[in-house]
Amino acid sequence: MLLFINSANCQVAGFAIATVGWILTTTSMGLVEWRVWHMDNTSLFPSGPVCVGMWKVCIYHHISNYNRTKLCRHFSYRDTYLPLDIRVSQNLLLVASILGLLGRASIIFALRNVYMGVRQGNATFNPSVASGILNLAAGICISIAVVWNYHSVVNEEGITFPPSLAIPFKPNTQEIGSAFLVACLAAFMTMLSALLFLAYKLPTVN
């Protein structure tokens, strides 16, 4: 195990996992299924799910058993009706994406030194540790957004959408969506890659 940690294979594996984690992070930002609201059919709002994401909300109306329409509205920083958890999570996911990108750049530099035969310890050790710290910070940012979103769904918190959308403050029921699971996997893979990068220093202590 120590031989693997102290080899370039550990860094390559970490780079692959970090890349997948970064892709999942950016993907989760664009997905709208962070929260799925279910509405009963009323005179003001027909039945159909409402998906609330970090950057937009989509309303699905069933026309028939096989057809449905979708109306989406994008969020912006000027939309003051957004709750604090969404506004903070927007920034956290953006920061996580940037940190993950910087972490990948750092480990690419470390791998370049390894395969070009640069023998100085710091040439691979320092970039590996830097990448580990950056990916760990990114994973923490994602985890905070995930936990806060889960807390809001469990406590059935509402959102005061503008009257033009005609969405009630609270749904009849709500649940976590697929974007939540994507973000959970992104956080796990990002932190796993961070541990691999940081573990690279263990054999150098001996």
pLDDT in tens, 53-68: 999 999 887 655 555 6
Supply the range of the domain harboring residue 140.
2-199
Q: Provide mean pLDDT across the span 30-40.
A: 88
Question: Distance between CA atoms of 79 and 178, rounded to whole angstroms?
Answer: 25
Q: Provide mean pLDDT across the span 159-181.
A: 87
Full-model pTM: 0.83
Q: Domains in the chain: how many in total?
A: 1
Please report the pLDDT score of residue 60 as a whole number.
81
Structure tokens at 139: 């994973």
Phi, psi of 118 (to 5 degrees): -70, 120
Residue 205 lies in a domain: no
Number of alpha carbons in the 13 Å side-chain half-sphere of residue 144: 18
Residue 204 lies in a domain: no
Residue 142 lies in a domain: yes
Q: In angstroms, how far is CA 94 from the centroid of its own chain? A: 9
Residue 115 lies in a domain: yes
Confidence of residue 43 (pLDDT cuts 50, 70, 90): low
Residue 93 lies in a domain: yes
Please report the pLDDT score of residue 148 as a whole number.
95
Structure tokens at 187: 């956080």
Residue 42 lies in a domain: yes
Phi, psi of 38 (to 5 degrees): -115, 125
CATH label of the domain that carries residue 66: 1.20.140.150
Question: Distance between CA atoms of 42 and 24, rounded to whole angstroms?
Answer: 37
Question: Distance between CA atoms of 160 and 47, rounded to whole angstroms?
Answer: 19
Residue 104 lies in a domain: yes
Average pLDDT, the chain: 82
* CA separation, residue 90 to residues 41, 170, 184 (Å): 31, 21, 15
Residue 206 lies in a domain: no
